[in-house]
Amino acid sequence: MALVKPVIAQGKTLLIRAALKLAMKTRSIRALGVREIGREAGLNPNTFYRHFSSMDELGLAILNEVIRSLRVPLREMRRTAADSIAGEVPAVRVPAEYWTTSLKKTRLVARETINLYFEFVLKNPEAFTIGVTELTGSSPMLREALQGTITDLAADLAEDIRILQLLPMVSDDSVQRISRIVIREIFMLSVDYIERVEAREEIRELAYFFLINLVAGTIAMEVSDNDTLATLMATLRG
């Protein structure tokens, strides 16, 4: 019983790796050349055609590699952050008190997630650099794929916020919106983070500032009871 196609052709992975490396430098998948990639991979120029029928096909292969290396790990990361910090979700849901407890957790999870996130960025510089570049790059197909990824990541975040009960006082709709904005902004910050070594701490700080203030504002717009609001804001100030 022979396995069906157990191995991915090694030339194909070589080509993808070479393209990743080159795209990281030149900041564009589309501008890569067939011969250029072959050269970098140490293969014959036309080996390319054994595996891909066009550049866009290679582009998608690269992007899938990139996307796959982002989504699942990011989600796991957030769970880890939550687990390492959170105790049990309180069973009794007396609003004011329950909310305050949640929000304490949220603050810590936010801080921890941001730290883990930027560590993760440094471990996958190609994925993030290419991701950010192609988000507004020259291939409509790749742009679309990456917009979709952002949407997915935002949906993941929103779901986690709900499941982990990090913002029980905020409407689902607002959680969705916040998630999307936060994912986008922090995603954009990633490349800066990779490149501007001296500014890393500042960038992490900015991300935290941004995240917490946006969350605080959203809560403030939705919670109209003065005492509750005062307590919640005090909690976020820490």
Partner DNA sequence: TGTACATCAGTGAACGCGCGTTCACTGATGTAC
Q: Does 32 bind a second copy (CB under 8 A)?
A: no
Contact of 235 with 100, CB cutoff 8 Å? yes
Residue 188 sits in the site that holds a second copy (CB under 8 A): yes
Q: Of 122 and 221, which CB lies nearer to a second copy in the complex structure?
A: 221
Distance CA 166, CA 155 (A): 15
Residue 209 is a binding residue for DNA (CB under 7 A): no
Q: Choose the one of a second copy, DNA, none that binds residue 47, judging by a C-beta under 5 to 8 angstroms depending on kind.
A: DNA
Position of tokens 């499941």?
A: 163
Residue 201: name the closest of 131, 115, 126 by CA: 115
Q: Does 28 bind a second copy (CB under 8 A)?
A: yes
Give 176's DSSP letter: H
Asked if residue 1 binds DNA (CB under 7 A), the reply is: no
Q: Which entry of DNA, a second copy, none binds 124, CB below 5 to 8 A by partner kind?
A: none
Task: Render the burial of 28-59: b for 16+ CB within 10 Å, e for the rest.
Answer: bbeebebeebbebbebeeebbeebbeebeebb
Contacts of 91 (CB under 8 A, 6+ apart): none
Residue number with CB closer to DNA (24 or 150): 24
Task: Give contact residues for DNA (rule: CB under 7 A).
Answer: 2, 9-12, 14, 33-36, 43-51, 54
Task: Give contact residues for a second copy (rule: CB under 8 A).
Answer: 26-28, 30-31, 132-133, 135-138, 174, 177-178, 181, 184-185, 188, 191, 206, 209-210, 212-221, 224, 226-227, 229-230, 233-234, 236-237
